[in-house]
A = this chain, B = another copy of it.
Amino acid sequence: MSVQSDSTPLKPVKVALTPQERFNDYLQSRRMRNTEQRRAVLDCVFKHHDHFDADQLLERLPSKGKSGYVSRPTVYRTLGEFVDAGLLRKFVLDGRSVYEHDYGYPQHDHLYCSKCEKLIEFQSEALIKLRDEVAATHQFQVRTHRLIISGVCEDCRKGRVRVRRKVDLI
C-alpha cells in the first residue's frame, strides 16, 4: 500500500530559503493563514527526503484524538497547496497520488520496481535534451515531463525482497 524509497537520494540543490520560509512567502502573497495544521504538515513532509502518499503522511502525523492531529481533508488540501507553492511534485502510481520533494532537489525521474514498489531516482541531462528535441520537432512548448521506467530492481532480482506487494501500474 505504501511507496518505498531507495537509499541513494539525490544531492540537494542550494536554495536561499527553507521550505518553511518559502511557504510563508507563498501564504502571505495570497492572504492565506499560517495555521498550526499547515506548519505540522510541512514539518512532517520535509523531515526526510522520500516519496509518500496521503495515507503515509497521515500515519506519520499524530492520530485522531491526539494533539496535533490533522484531518484527512486538510492533509489533501495542504498537499495541494505545497504543490502549488512549488515545494512538492505529485504523480500517480498504481492509482494513488504520490508526492516528492521539489523545492531543494533537482529535476529527476524514476525507476519503479513492480515487485517491492521501490522508487529509485535518477538524473539524466541527456533525457532533458532528448525531450526538448522531440518537443521542438512538434512545435510543442514543454512545461514538464514524467518518465517512469518499470521493471524489477537489483534487490528483487537477487531474491533480497524486502516487501511483497500487489502491483502493476503503468
Contacts and interface: CB of A to CB of B under 8 A. Distances in A.
Interface of A: 91-92, 95, 111, 113-114, 120, 122, 124, 126-127, 130-131, 134-135, 137-154, 157, 169-170
B147 A146 contact: yes
A147 B145 CA distance: 7
Pick the most buried of A91, A140, A141: most chain B CB atoms within 10 A of its CB.
A140
A86 to B, nearest CB: 14
A163 to B, nearest CB: 17
B124 A140 contact: no
Contacts of A127: 127, 130
Give how many copies assemble into the complex: 2
A169 to B, nearest CB: 8
Contact of A122 (B122, B134, B147): B134
Contacts of A120: 138, 140
B152 A140 contact: yes
Contact of A135 (B95, B126, B139, B149): B149
A76 to B, nearest CB: 14
Contacts of A149: 131, 134-135, 140, 142, 144-145
